Structure 1
Amino acid sequence: MTTTSFYSPLQSTSNKPDILLWISRIFVGLLFIFSGLIKANDPMGFGYKLQEYFHVFNLTALNDYSAWIAIIICAFEIILGVLLLLGIARNSVAWGLLLLIIFFTFLTFYSAFFNVVTSCGCFGDAIPLTPWQSFIKDLILLVFIGIIFIKRQKITPLFQSSFANNFITLLTVLFAFGAGIYTYVYLPVIDFLPYKVGNHLPSLMKVPEGAAQDEFEHIYTLKNKQSGESKKVTDKEYMSQKIWEDENWEIVGEPQTKLVKKGYQMAIPDLMISDNAGQNVTEEIIENPHFNFLVTSIDVTKFSPADFLALDRINQTIKSLSEDYNLRAILLTSSAAADIDYLNDQLDLVLETFYVDGIPLKSMVRSNPGVMLMQNGVVIQKWSKETFPSKEELIQQYLNK
């Protein structure tokens, strides 16, 4: 009969703890689990980030599978982190970590050096990092993973029982993949985006009075008329040193402008809703005092048969509600007008169609189609195509409150 025994976390094959190895395991393991979970919370958002990389490397054929690739990557991060902490499958885990970090380090360096992807998405929208910050983070991880790889033979499992290790591995795999699939179907558990439930969107589209502005520095190139010497000075140096009073110095060319300090950044700087004639109707729609169903779809041509059925169910439910309640129903899309006309012919949409750029649409609802219920500028609730409730549930939970 196989029994399960528990090893001390600091035990090694020589019965002497390798402190450096354990520090590396704990640091890398926890960071990989955190990184995987935070991205698995929003696999569609991470998928959008992957599409930016696909574009850079001419792999756009993978765009349609980006969300599922994101789920797989997140799951591997979680699995590797858990198995590393528990000391299971040490060789496979060490190799997996090494290959992943080399790949990620290459990507973040490429992004930073060539300035092709402005944020790596390493920690989703929860902790945005610049490309250089991401690259430095990966270099640090590379050092710790290098230690793990070199010392991997010293790693022993916390549990001696192979059954226990296999069972824990199975549970970890199921949880890791299940977490990403769940949030893909039911929307993120924690919404880090500005369109989250409870937010007042109009206030997020304005700069508060007295908010800090961007600060810029102007750099002049000066040339001495007599000696031919040239030098660069900032606008503050130019004025404080009264260089402008010395006739021997002249400004050559146009001054360079550099951002020194960023001021207040609007949470929603890019939302503009237009009608068929191109008129801006953003304020009218966002600040509507009545119940406002905003159905979002980045591209209706990407609809599967199931998506058509989901949109038809959403459309029919809202149409039935509109017979008894004063509400507005809108389709926000970046699709071509001809594609919307075809969709309308097929489904007899009750939704008014308005047009929005794809970037803010991606942030509104992580579903295609998705639905936002708003009133007086406040996001009351959001649903994916799979979770939009019935007429009776909407009346009981929202419209009759």
Structure 2
Amino acid sequence: MHTIILQFFRGITGILFVFSGFVKLVDPQGSAYKFEEYFGGDVLNLEGLISFALPFSIVLILTELILGIALLLGYRTKTTLWCLFGITTLFLCLTGYSAIFDKVTDCGCFGDAIKLTAWETFYKNIIFLMLIVWMMIKHDQIKPLFSKNITQPILMASVFSSLYVIYHVLTYLPLIDFRPYAIGKNIRAGMVYQEDGEIPPVHDFYLESETDDLTDVILDAPKAILMVANHLEHVDGEAWKELIKLSNKATDKGYLVYLLSSSSTALVSKTKEENTLPFDVLFCDGTTLKTMIRANPGILGLHQGTVVFKENWKNIKEIKW
């Protein structure tokens, strides 16, 4: 009976870590944003580490995936369990701090796929820490499923395939979009408050020019293209050329075309002048822009507020009108 319970603990813990790593794997930039939040001055006050948020994100993704797979395969069980104990203890302390002092409302442990509060994550970590300790005590009863000659190539293939996926989604867009701006989602519908009073998934979507709020105009438009450049200073000349071509083509087809940014008014004016942009630039909250699309710049196509396509500017020729 104890053996059955032990194998159950092993399976559920391994699956949890594989799932946690996978939902981050398809969107590593989202995990990087969460690291930036934790490193911020009002949380851990480690702002010097913010520039390393993406490497930290990639290391965490690979660690969770490989440890989860290794536990399921029974590879070097004692070492694997000690690593799981260490990472779970670390995040137990981190989420406990966040919960007690109300620092980070969503820990990001399951990316955007499943939202957990800091307290929910804290209790989850306690439970799995107990499971890991139990397995550490009984580790000699966890037998490998295959020989090392089979297990090691599986782990190596997992590492290299994960690195390829990370490269691909950072170059283009996440393979799976769990956010409220995914293709097929209606932005206006995402802004509606539910009866339980829970904050809607879209709650900071305001598109403003220097004089007007154009949110409703754009969401009501039968055809609109929003080009997102959260940080204008990071957009290179080649990207501007492609965006201008896209704007001209879209305008001829009857689309409303705007660029969204959270950059300063001075930088917006400078950018428009230097690149002779034929479209207006609207201000939008920076966090909202990072949620909308993981590209700088990226492109969203809307039909009466429903997202009909999303592309990184590098993949701009793939847009289907």
Same fold (TM over 0.5): yes
The alignment-based identity, stated in percent, is 32
Tell whether 2:243 aligns with 1:315.
Answer: yes
Residues 225 and 256 of structure 2 are in contact (CA less than 8 Å); yes or no, is this contact kept in structure 1?
Answer: yes
Equivalent position of 2:291 in the other structure = 363
Q: CA shift at 1:174, angstroms?
A: 1.3
Q: CA shift at 1:108, angstroms?
A: 0.8
- Code of the residue aligned with 2:288 in structure 1: it is P
Secondary structure of the residue aligned to 2:281 is: strand
Tell whether 2:119 aligns with 1:132.
Answer: yes
Aligned mate of 2:278, from 346, 350, 362: 350
Equivalent position of 1:336 in the other structure = 264
Tell whether 2:228 aligns with 1:300.
Answer: no
Equivalent position of 2:31 in the other structure = 46
Secondary structure of the residue aligned to 1:100 is: helix
Tell whether 2:274 aligns with 1:288.
Answer: no
Q: CA shift at 1:343, angstroms?
A: 2.1
Q: Label 1:310 to 1:41 Cα distance change in 2 as closer, same or farther (>3 A).
A: farther
Residues 296 and 331 of structure 1 are in contact (CA less than 8 Å); yes or no, is this contact kept in structure 2?
Answer: yes
- Code of the residue aligned with 1:84 in structure 2: it is L
Q: CA shift at 1:196, angstroms?
A: 1.3
Equivalent position of 1:36 in the other structure = 21
Q: Label 1:310 to 1:37 Cα distance change in 2 as closer, same or farther (>3 A).
A: farther
Tell whether 2:102 aligns with 1:174.
Answer: no
Asked which structure has the greater CA Rg, the reply is 1
- Code of the residue aligned with 1:74 in structure 2: it is I
Q: CA shift at 1:113, angstroms?
A: 0.8
**RMSD of aligned residue pairs (Cα, Å):** 2.2
Q: CA shift at 1:345, angstroms?
A: 3.3
Q: Distance in 1 between matches of 2:96 and 2:177?
A: 29
Aligned residues: 319
Tell whether 2:62 aligns with 1:62.
Answer: no
Q: Distance in 1 between matches of 2:251 and 2:260?
A: 22
Residues 296 and 365 of structure 1 are in contact (CA less than 8 Å); yes or no, is this contact kept in structure 2?
Answer: yes
Residues 218 and 256 of structure 2 are in contact (CA less than 8 Å); yes or no, is this contact kept in structure 1?
Answer: no
Matches within 5 A, 1:206-355: 206-207=192-193, 212=195, 262-263=196-197, 265-277=199-211, 279-289=212-222, 291-301=223-233, 303=234, 307-309=235-237, 311-322=239-250, 324-355=252-283
**1:192-222 Cα shifts (integer Å, max 9, x gaps):** 2111111222233345xxx62xxxxxxxxxx
Q: Label 1:62 to 1:384 Cα distance change in 2 as closer, same or farther (>3 A).
A: farther
Q: CA shift at 1:332, angstroms?
A: 0.5
Q: Label 1:385 to 1:73 Cα distance change in 2 as closer, same or farther (>3 A).
A: farther
Q: CA shift at 1:342, angstroms?
A: 2.5
Q: CA shift at 1:187, angstroms?
A: 1.9
Q: CA shift at 1:178, angstroms?
A: 2.8
Q: Which stretch shows the higher mean deviation, 320-329 or 40-49?
A: 320-329
Q: Distance in 2 between matches of 1:19 and 1:287?
A: 58
- Code of the residue aligned with 1:312 in structure 2: it is W
Secondary structure of the residue aligned to 2:96 is: helix
Equivalent position of 2:301 in the other structure = 373
Residues 96 and 119 of structure 2 are in contact (CA less than 8 Å); yes or no, is this contact kept in structure 1?
Answer: yes
Residues 70 and 155 of structure 2 are in contact (CA less than 8 Å); yes or no, is this contact kept in structure 1?
Answer: yes
Q: Label 1:17 to 1:323 Cα distance change in 2 as closer, same or farther (>3 A).
A: closer
Q: Which stretch shows the higher mean deviation, 334-343 or 262-271?
A: 262-271
- Code of the residue aligned with 2:310 in structure 1: it is K
Equivalent position of 2:173 in the other structure = 187
Q: CA shift at 1:300, angstroms?
A: 2.0
Residues 243 and 313 of structure 2 are in contact (CA less than 8 Å); yes or no, is this contact kept in structure 1?
Answer: no
Q: CA shift at 1:157, angstroms?
A: 2.2
Q: Label 1:80 to 1:309 Cα distance change in 2 as closer, same or farther (>3 A).
A: farther
Q: Label 1:176 to 1:21 Cα distance change in 2 as closer, same or farther (>3 A).
A: farther
Residues 315 and 351 of structure 1 are in contact (CA less than 8 Å); yes or no, is this contact kept in structure 2?
Answer: no
Q: Label 1:30 to 1:206 Cα distance change in 2 as closer, same or farther (>3 A).
A: closer
Q: Distance in 2 between matches of 1:130 and 1:204?
A: 20
Q: CA shift at 1:319, angstroms?
A: 4.0
**1:220-251 Cα shifts (integer Å, max 9, x gaps):** xxxxxxxxxxxxxxxxxxxxxxxxxxxxxxxx
Q: Label 1:344 to 1:34 Cα distance change in 2 as closer, same or farther (>3 A).
A: same
- Code of the residue aligned with 1:286 in structure 2: it is L
- Code of the residue aligned with 2:168 in structure 1: it is Y
Following TM superposition, the consecutive aligned residue runs of length 4 or more in structure 1 with deviations greater than 4 angstroms are none
Residues 202 and 287 of structure 1 are in contact (CA less than 8 Å); yes or no, is this contact kept in structure 2?
Answer: no
Q: Which has the higher helix share?
A: 2
Secondary structure of the residue aligned to 2:315 is: coil
Equivalent position of 1:252 in the other structure = none
Q: Distance in 2 between matches of 1:120 and 1:141?
A: 16
5+ long unaligned stretches in structure 2: none
Secondary structure of the residue aligned to 2:152 is: helix
**1:149-205 Cα shifts (integer Å, max 9, x gaps):** 233344332222x33222112111112333333333332222221111112222333
Equivalent position of 2:109 in the other structure = 122
Q: Which has the higher strand share?
A: 1
Q: Distance in 2 between matches of 1:194 and 1:74?
A: 23
